[in-house]
Amino acid sequence: MKQEITRFAPSPTGHLHLGGARTALFSWLFAQKNKGKFLLRFEDTDKERSKKEYEESIISSLAWLGIEPDEDPVFQSKNIELHRTVALRLLESGNAYSCDCSPEQLNEMREKQIEQKMQPRYDGFNRDKNLPHKEGNVIRFKMPIQGKTSFEDKILGTISVNNKELDDFIILRGDGSPTYNFSAAIDDQEMKITTVIRGDDHITNTLKQINIFKSLEEPIPNYAHLPMVLSNTGKRLSKRDGAVDLLDYKKSGYLKEALINYLVKLGWTYSDQEIFSKEELLSLFTLEAVNSSPAKFSEELINFYNNHYINSIQIEDLYQLIIKEYDVSYKIDSNIHYLEILKLIREGSKTLLDLINQMQFFYETPQYEEKHKDFIQTNIEIISVFKENISTLDFSDLKMLENNIKEFLSSKDLKFPQLGKPLRLILAGRENAPSISQLLFFLGYEESLKRINLFLTK
């Protein structure tokens, strides 16, 4: 069987977003699953908008997800001479023609067609004139007029269009530069791509490109068009819902495992399984199982996956990841219970930044809100009694400490919340925090006492 070769072909005119990352991931998974190759091609012919910085950021985003191309990236701009040569060859063989229609002529044509409620397209004015090609003229591809262009999309099924709907599109501009549609087809052929996986906004391009392959008598690749990723309201993705640089997810504390799982579930299903390791994906992924309707972005789901993976990785690895990749204003391992603190707080954390934030009160005295200060003061009697007894509590063992607190409460005939609410506010600076015994145990005797004294000495 022929080796599968796929490619991801971003234009380096911006950072990699979720939609692009999903396209790259599906191409890469497909290549891996089929023991094929995954290539990267930068479609950088738009000199004005293409930037080195975006190439680098796309490569870093892919690398973060563990997607490495099997060969050095191809730069479309370096193949322009080849594209030009092939365009001239098509002109020679009669599969393309020179055209000198002026912009005014084309405009007039367009307006007439709109008036007659026709789809605006080049009407073939110069198609059979055999004009000698000269500078300033464009070269147009001679689309077949009869019949249909069809292909079997691996996700969307049969796609077919009457050839008369397809335009004699320009392959070489008047200044000698090739157009995107043409360059992409020639590059796919040069790179021996067997399966093109890209967004469904490229279907019309595919229909044109198939005709180019036919005219060159070259094999036509397989195609898989991925339905769009829409916002949760069904619109185009905006910055608010996922159209951000993929590396921003890393910066905000998302794990790559969560991103991969989320991206793959944006349109791909395997029974009702939700969680997939990379290894599982590499053996289970098929293009045929990609949903043919658009996927919707969901912040809730991405956070669900992130919380799942934050809680699944080895605690020591989580610690290493945090200290290597993130800025933490306190020294996590300055508390001897740091791994237990991490374990405790990660349960409710959506992101690593959230986790770092939520753990802070274990290391730095909290900033108390006024309403909390007031609440503590109205309950200061109980706190004072608790403080008098604090030295009798066994801080060396969590279980013992828990029992000691229970004993203390029953000896004073107090209900748990009477002590629990104000003490939690003193120790953690917030209502939503771990249990009193955990707080006391992880903060330790000295620090707990210090925080209690902040309120008693006033």
Tell me, letter by letter, the H, E, C secondary structure of 391-405.
Answer: HHCCCCCHHHHHHHH
Choose between 46 and 364: whose C-beta lies nearer to ligand GLU. 46
Instruction: Name which position in 25, 34, 43, 172 contacts ligand GLU (CB under 6 A).
Output: 43
- Span of 4-12, 66-74, 304-312, 370-378 interacting with ligand GLU by CB under 6 A: 4-12
Contact (CB, 8 A) for 281 and 231: no
Q: Which is nearer to ligand GLU, 43 or 168 (CB)?
A: 43
CB of 180 to ligand GLU, least distance (A): 7
Quick one: CA dihedral 258, 264, 270, 272, positive or negative?
positive
Q: How far is the CB of 368 from ligand GLU (least distance, A)?
A: 51
CB of 113 to ligand GLU, least distance (A): 27
Q: Which of residues 201-230 bind ligand GLU (CB under 6 A)?
A: 202
Q: Does 11 interact with ligand GLU (rule: CB under 6 A)? A: yes
The CA-atom distances, in angstroms, between 32 and each of 4, 5, 282, 345, 395 are: 9, 10, 7, 37, 53
Give me the residue whose beta carbon is nearest to ligand GLU.
198
Gap between the Cα atoms of 70 and 63, Å rounded: 12
Q: In whole angstroms, what is the distance from residue 440 CA to residue 326 CA?
A: 27
Site string for ligand GLU, 363-382 (x = CB under 6 A): --------------------
User: Smallest gap, in angstroms, from Cβ of residue 292 to ligand GLU?
Assistant: 18
Q: How far is the CB of 52 from ligand GLU (least distance, A)?
A: 17
Region of 6-14, 88-96, 394-402, 410-418 interacting with ligand GLU (CB under 6 A): 6-14
User: Which segment (3-11, 293-301, 387-395, 420-428) binds ligand GLU by CB under 6 A?
Assistant: 3-11
Six-digit token string for 245:
């640089």
User: Closest distance between ligand GLU and the C-beta of residue 333, in Å?
Assistant: 44
User: Residue 125 contacts by C-beta under 8 Å, 6 or more apart in sequence?
Assistant: 99, 101, 105, 109
Neighbour tally for 387: CB within 10 Å? 16
Report if residue 155 touches ligand GLU, rule: CB under 6 A: no
Q: In angstroms, what is the minimal distance from the CB of 303 to ligand GLU? A: 28
Residue with smaller CB distance to ligand GLU, 184 or 405: 184
Considering the complex, state which of residue 109 and residue 159 has its C-beta at the smaller distance from ligand GLU.
Answer: 159
Find the binder of ligand GLU among 4, 5, 6, 9 (CB under 6 A): 9
We find the least distance from the C-beta atom of residue 225 to ligand GLU, in angstroms, to be 10
CB of 42 to ligand GLU, least distance (A): 9
Q: Which is nearer to ligand GLU, 26 or 362 (CB)?
A: 26
Which residues inside 174-203 make contact with ligand GLU, applying CB under 6 A? 184, 198, 202
Out of 10, 221, 242, 422, name the contact with ligand GLU by CB under 6 A: 10
Give 9 or 401: the residue with its C-beta nearer to ligand GLU. Answer: 9
Q: Which lies closer to ligand GLU via its Cβ, residue 9 or residue 439? A: 9
Using CB under 6 A as the binding rule, whether residue 4 contacts ligand GLU is answered as: no
Residues 271-290, interacting with ligand GLU (CB under 6 A): none
What is the per-residue burial (b if ≥16 Cβ within 10 Å, else e) of 364-386? eebebeeebeebbeebeebbeeb
Give contact residues for ligand GLU (rule: CB under 6 A).
9-11, 43, 184, 198, 202
